[in-house]
Chain A
Amino acid sequence: GNSVTQMEGPVTLSEEAFLTINCTYTATGYPSLFWYVQYPGEGLQLLLKATKADDKGSNKGFEATYRKETTSFHLEKGSVQVSDSAVYFCALSGAGTALIFGKGTTLSVSS
């Protein structure tokens, strides 16, 4: 079945550091891929998405590219801020199906 694997956390960075959170997936067909962010005590917010191979999703300085050849959708940001501290979830959705989430990666950014 469909599944998502993302790197274990927590990830601890200093402000302005470069961020990469790895995400790989297993799916039949051509899923859509997503990154969601969850701030402490809150629900999920869609960060970015890509619906087909080689698409790049981007938002708030974050970006991720849908790589079908490596079945990956790694999240990157060139310069993180303290306000980026949160839990990040990689997810996929097949045709008409619910989102399947990875386990989440906690990011802590210190000033």
Chain B
Amino acid sequence: GAVVSQHPSWVICKSGTSVKIECRSLDFQATTMFWYRQFPKQSLMLMATSNEGSKATYEQGVEKDKFLINHASLTLSTLTVTSAHPEDSSFYICSARGRGQGLTTYSNQPQHFGDGTRLSIL
């Protein structure tokens, strides 16, 4: 089945550091990638949607300058948390969706999730 690889799985760093998280689709072309944030024992909150080759669309309340998203190719999207602070500590999960083929519509393509990145800012 479709595989999405997310790296790193866990990162601990000092306050003020910028952290980059990579999300790769390993066996399909991801026309759209999504970035979610999950607080402990809570649901996943969509942060942004990115389509290959275009700027990401951020959800209301998500700082664009804080969370930089780049979707430079059909297999890679990156999320950079700039000047991270303790309140940015969270579990970040990416997902990817490919294009449909034949009569399969785009909207019915499943989202495949990475295993998540646990970010801890000291």
Contacts and interface: CB of A to CB of B under 8 A. Distances in A.
A101 B43 contact: yes
Interface string B2-19: 000010000000000000
Contact of A94 (B34, B46, B107, B115): B107
A44 B106 CA distance: 21
Contact of B108 (A32, A36, A46): A32
Contacts of B107: 32, 93-97
Contacts of B93: 43-44
Given A43-B6, A43-B114, 4 more contacts: A46-B110, A46-B112, A103-B43, A104-B41
Given A32-B107, A99-B95, A104 B43 contact: yes
Interface string B110-122: 1111111000000
Interface string B74-97: 000000000000000000010100
B101 interface: no
A51 interface: yes
Contacts of A104: 41-43
Nearest to A103: B43
Interface of B: 6, 34, 41-44, 46, 49, 93, 95, 106-108, 110-116
A95 B41 CA distance: 28
Contacts, number: 49
A99 B34 contact: yes
A94 B46 CA distance: 14
Nearest to A102: B43
A43 B106 contact: no
10 contacts: A32-B107, A42-B116, A43-B114, A49-B110, A89-B43, A89-B44, A94-B107, A98-B34, A99-B46, A104-B41
Contacts of A45: 113
A57 to B, nearest CB: 12
A109 interface: no
B23 to A, nearest CB: 11
Contacts of A44: 44, 93, 95, 113
A22 B116 CA distance: 26
A101 B111 contact: no
